[in-house]
Amino acid sequence: MKPQNIYIGFTTIILFLFSCRQGSEKELPVMNSIQLENSILSLTKEATNLNVPWDLQYDRINDAILFSEIGGAIRRLDIKSKQVLLIDSIPDVYQQRTLGLLGMALYQPENEQAYLYLSYTSKKDSSIFSNLYRYNYNPTGRLSNPVQLLQIPGNTGHNGSRIVISPDKKVYWATGDAATDTYAQDSTSLNGKILRLNLDGSIPKDNPIANSYVYAWGFRNMQGLTYSTEGILYTSEHGDAIEDEINLILPLKNYGWPLIEGMIDTEKEKAKVKTLAIEEPIKSWTPVVAPAGLAYYGSDVIPEWKKSLLLTTLKNQSLRILSLSDDGHRIIDEQVLFQDQLGRLRSVITLPNGDIYFCSSNRDWNPQKGFPKQEDDVIYRLRVSEKTHAPILHPQSVDTQPAAKDGHALYEAYCTSCHKSDGEGLTNTFPPLAKSNTVNGDEKALLQIILHGVQEKNMESIKYEGAMPGFSFLTDAEIITIANYIRTNFGNNAGKIESSSLTSLR
Q: Which is nearer to ligand HEC, 309 or 480 (CB)?
A: 480
Smallest separation, CB 497 to ligand HEC (Å)? 12
Query: Strand, coil or helix: what is 114?
Result: coil
Q: Which is nearer to ligand HEC, 33 or 436 (CB)?
A: 436
468: which DSSP letter?
A: B
Q: Which is nearer to ligand HEC, 84 or 497 (CB)?
A: 497
Is residue 217 a contact partner of residue 255, using CB atoms and an 8 Å limit? yes
How far apart (Å, rounded) are the C-alpha atoms in residues 62 and 69?
20
81: which DSSP letter?
A: T
How far apart (Å, rounded) are the C-alpha atoms in residues 262 and 244?
7
How far apart (Å, rounded) are the C-alpha atoms in residues 373 and 7?
43
Q: Which is nearer to ligand HEC, 193 or 487 (CB)?
A: 487
Q: Which is nearer to ligand HEC, 41 or 433 (CB)?
A: 433
Please report, as a single letter, which amino acid is at residue 1: M
Q: What is the largest CA-CA distance in the chain?
A: 92
Phi and psi (nearest 5°) for 345? -115, 130
Write out the residues near ligand HEC by the rule CB under 6 A.
414-415, 417-419, 430-431, 433, 436, 438-439, 446, 449-450, 454-457, 459, 464, 466-469, 471, 482, 486
Q: Which is nearer to ligand HEC, 156 or 187 (CB)?
A: 156
Q: Which is nearer to ligand HEC, 232 or 454 (CB)?
A: 454
Query: Strand, coil or helix: what is 18?
Result: helix
95: which DSSP letter?
A: -
Smallest separation, CB 216 to ligand HEC (Å)? 26
Please report, as a single letter, which amino acid is at residue 93: V
**How many CA atoms are closer than 13 Å to the CA of 437, on its beta-carbon side?**
3
Name residue 249's beta-bridge partners. 233
